[in-house]
Amino acid sequence: MNEVLLLTWVRSTGLSIATGIFVLGTLWRLIEIYTLGRKPDLSVPRHRAAASGLHTLFRRSLPAPGMFIRASASYLAGYVFHTGLFIVVLLFAPHIMLMQSLTALSWQGLPSQFIDATAVLTLAAMLLVLVDRINNPVKRFLSTFEDYAAWALTFLPLLTGYLASRHLLLSYTTMLALHISSVELLLIFLPFTKLMHAFTLWISRWYNGDINGHKGVPS
């Protein structure tokens, strides 16, 4: 009975609170960032700044020359992790139904078997990323508690979601409640941690390319 009450709360009140904090926190951070302003650059552009922004947006998504060979496992795990996370979050039918209830938007999902396989690959890639961070002396030195917390906040929803869909470890009701709770924790902390890069990454890359293109500097 307690697990039913927990599931009911996280699917209603808990979800409303987490979504509200996520939306307001994200808007506040974006407004904070984009109202900083910058001094007008009065120099004559040396390249098409917009094109340079798009070029940087694409180029910074690829490994630097020679780096893929030197750290192929790290790069592959990173690509698999981010691609898999995108697929699981946005192309799983129950997730689409939830987003439709919140936004009235809907799209075609992928078969659950494919989503399950993607989730397993994504979890494995995330574990590889963690092991690489711990074993690499430079990455370990640069890593802070926030880096590991961000990893855990992303890993737990994937893990609990997979366990719930496969009816493993705990009862389905309990595991589903844990899954939704972990998602709500992710939503609450995302705007205030490095996970905010999910919204700022692409715009910041375009911005750097735009500025450097204006100055005639490759980026």
- Tens of pLDDT, residue by residue over 29-66, are 999 888 876 676 666 666 555 566 666 666 767 777 77
Give 186-200 pLDDT, tens digit per residue. Answer: 999 999 999 998 888
User: What local confidence, expressed as pLDDT, does residue 134 receive?
Assistant: 92
* 92 φ/ψ angles, rounded to the nearest 5 degrees: -90, 125
| Domain positions in the chain | 2-30+55-215
- For 2-30+55-215, CATH gives 1.20.950.20
- Residue 103: HSE in the Cβ half-sphere, 13 Å Cα cutoff: 10
User: What local confidence, expressed as pLDDT, does residue 72 receive?
Assistant: 75
Rounded CA separation 25/31 (Å) = 10
pTM: 0.84
Query: Which DSSP string corresponds to 131-193?
Result: HHHHHSHHHHHH--HHHHHHHHHHHHHHHHHHHHHTT-SS-HHHHHHHHHHHHHHHHHHGGGS
Identify the sign of the CA torsion 122, 127, 129, 130: positive
User: What local confidence, expressed as pLDDT, does residue 189 receive?
Assistant: 95
pLDDT level of residue 102 (50, 70, 90 thresholds)? confident
- Residue 108 DSSP class: -
Rounded CA separation 207/184 (Å) = 31
- Token duo for residue 203: 């715009």
Strand partners, 110: 92
Cβ-contact 119, 158 below 8 angstroms:
yes
